[in-house]
Amino acid sequence: MTDFDARAVSTIRGLAMDAPHAARSGHQGTAMALAPLAHVLYSRVMSYDAARPDWIDRDRFVLSAGHASILQYSLLHLAGFGLSLDDLKDFRQWDSATPGHPEVGHTAGVEVTTGPLGQGVANMVGMAIAEAQLRSRYGAEIFDHHVFGICGDGDLSEGVSHEAASLAGHLGLGKIVLCYDDNHITIDGETELALTDDAAARFRAYGWHVEELGEVGEDLDALEAGIRRAMDVTDRPSLVIVRTIIGTPAPESSNTADAHGYAIFDEEIAATKTIMGMPADETFHVPDDVLDEYRKLGLRGAEARSAWEGRVAAFSGDRSTLEAQLSGNGLPGWEDALPSFAVGESVATRKASNAALQALVPVVPGLTGGGADLTGNTGTVIKDEGVFSAANPGGRQIYFGVREHAMGSIANGMALHGGAIPVVGTFLVFADYMRAAVRLAALSEARSIFAWTHDSVGVGEDGPTHQPVEQVASLRAIPNLRVLRPADANETVAAWRIAVESGGPTAMILTRQNVPVLEGTSAEGVARGAYVLREADDAAITLVGTGSEVAVCVDAAKALTAAGIAARVVSMPCWELFEAQDADVRAAVIPASTPSLAVEAGVTMGWHRWVDDVVGIDRFGASAPGDTVLEKLGINADNVVARARALIES
């Protein structure tokens, strides 16, 4: 270890104590223990250009143990990513660039939003899939980088990391180098209270290469050598296990559960700084020469980036496809490839979704994905583009297996890597397994497309365990998630156009059963979130439906009209898009002067913000043929007519 190395590590450890102490909140010990490892990655191993943190062929760094965020912020400050010392002093404060856990898009140099443990591990798998697809398609001279990460016992305890690691080993993702901080400490105490796994054996069983480095947490050369051995393994992902001492070298708190959080205060901070040869009475001490040297290290990737730009300029392949993929767009005129369906056809929206996806794949080069062992059922089949595997990393069909949670997190990693627009599918009721990943997609504004099918009690005989009733409402509760429940095949096609054109995540809620292609469905209307499908002069009531229930509203409106009661029908595929419209636009669609009744085969929670009354299902479903369940639970035209009459009379 050189003098610079020693002083840089001490500087990182000083910041790791000072910033949480200033905030009176945070996690000091893990960041202190990992300072040597992180220093090796940022100063010796990773290829990046701090002046261009969005360079797509950079190495990625994912801090899955996101509670140790001050570790990453310290490195981003030293390396010159734009974080100032004042930003570190503002750690965990309102509107600061240094929130409690790393947030992508909020702080330059942060690749993914981590916090819930295990998510970062799965994000790494998604990033490695995206890198492998790009490298296969355009060549290693354009795309060739690693995905590095740091995880802890908590990450490897969460089930999502098991799912993701299993798939990564199966797929032979050799660009993953995951460093495991084996410090034997959790919040409750020693890890042995609840965890005695043999992580090395488990990951070897998953098909990973494992480097067991032992007690080398302070040995920079040994850390670098182990990481580079892992980088040399190209046919499978690598786990690098490092035994560290949490809180080291604090004289009282090191190797204690307290060090996991905020436990090192004034006197012990001063004592620790004295041990490290730093000014004991100075906070946020960053020696000028350490900072100067680190800033040079942060810019050393500029030469590699410049050489890469030259190779891209000389690229003789399909440049329009490359540019479209990197920008996340379709080829010129891609919208013209979208299918259309004739009024009167009967098509399940999951099948219409697959028709749209299949039409878009040739003209939207970033589209890729599949299902969680339900690929055909969910309309996420991608034909003629190959299956992604170790032997065929260019394949765009991905089989995730029964791994819903990891599938969602992997999709987020792919989307945040760039060059990929992932679509992933399973039954709507299993969105509950994915919820943490979906929430992080919304928080991260990741461009993930979630295709959830079998969207109501119309699933039928599988019964209430498989019949979603509360899932759509719970998804609508997530900020920044665009939830689209199209009424028919043509609305489904319009939903796909929105998903491809828009930033952030999209949830598509699709039917198992066939539904009629309705007269008057409108792509422009879908883009507004709600629109008048069937107008009526002097209407006595407005019926508002989503998904398969729009057809029920149309039938009910016809029956009401025949009885002399004029009824309008509104299709409302997306609350979020409708909310974004001007108030006068919303008022024209659902006027307050006319009684309004919503119809949706799910819980009624939330609907009263839009309408006066709701026909819904505020109970679990039942096992019976789908038509029978819908009929018995009141999702039928006769019940809607009766409820409409009662609402008008009231």
Q: What angle do CA 14, 51, 504 make, to 5 degrees?
A: 95
CB 498 within 8 A of CB 482: yes
The full 3-state SS of 536-585, as one line of letters, equals: CCCCCEEEEECCCHHHHHHHHHHHHHHCCCCEEEEECCCHHHHHCCCHHH
Rounded Cα gap, residues 145 and 328, in angstroms: 20
pLDDT of residue 639: 98
Is residue 436 classed as helix, strand or coil in its secondary structure? helix
Q: For residue 135, what pLDDT is reported?
A: 98
Cα–Cα distance measured from residue 413 to residue 114, given in angstroms and rounded to the nearest whole number: 11
At residue 53, the pLDDT reads: 97
Those residues whose C-beta lies under 8 Å from the C-beta of residue 606, and which sit 6 or more positions away, are 473, 476, 477, 575
pLDDT at 302 over 90: yes
Residue 267 has pLDDT above 90, yes or no: yes
Distance CA 181, CA 64 (A): 11
Beta bridge partners of 484: 508
d(C-alpha 21, C-alpha 273), whole Å: 14
Per-residue pLDDT tens for 201-230? 999 999 999 999 999 999 999 999 999 999
Instruction: Count other C-beta atoms under 10 Å from residue 146's C-beta.
Output: 23
Q: What is the mean pLDDT of the chain?
A: 97
Cα 102 from Cα 193, distance rounded (Å): 28
Structure confidence by residue, pLDDT tens digits, 543-599: 999 999 999 999 999 999 999 999 999 999 999 999 999 999 999 999 999 999 999
Q: Number of C-alpha atoms within 13 angstroms, CB side, residue 638?
A: 5
Q: Where are the alpha helices (DSSP H) in 26-68?
A: 29-40
556-565: b (≥16 Cβ within 10 Å) or e: bbebbeeeeb
Q: Domains in the chain, start-ordered, CATH in brackets?
A: 3-304 (3.40.50.970), 334-516 (3.40.50.970), 530-649 (3.40.50.920)
Cα 634 off chain centre by: 36
CB 570 within 8 A of CB 611: no
404 belongs to the catalytic site: yes
Can you tell me whether residue 15 is helix, strand or coil?
Answer: helix
Q: Strand 346-348 and strand 514-516: pairing?
A: antiparallel
Indicate which residue of 163, 211, 404, 600 is catalytic. Answer: 404
Question: What pLDDT, on the 0 to 100 scale, is given for residue 1?
Answer: 79
Residue 470 confidence class, pLDDT cut points 50, 70, 90? very high
Pair 77, 85: CB distance under 8 Å: yes
Task: Give residue 532's pLDDT.
Answer: 98
Handedness of CA 315, 317, 318, 322 (dihedral sign): negative
Of 35, 475, 408, 25, the closest CA to residue 217 belongs to 35
pTM of the shown model: 0.97
Q: pLDDT band for 275, please (50, 70, 90 cuts).
A: very high
Report CA-CA distances (Å) from 278 to 14, 86, 271, 291, 365: 8, 20, 10, 15, 53
- Banded pLDDT at 178 (limits 50, 70, 90): very high
Q: What does the pLDDT look like over 435-465, one tens digit per residue?
A: 999 999 999 999 999 999 999 999 999 999 9
Could you tell me if residue 564 is left (phi over 0), alpha (psi between -120 and 50 degrees) or otherwise beta? left
Could you give the C-alpha distances from 169 to 123, 209, 239, in angstroms and in order?
Answer: 15, 9, 11
Q: Cβ(644)–Cβ(541) under 8 Å?
A: yes
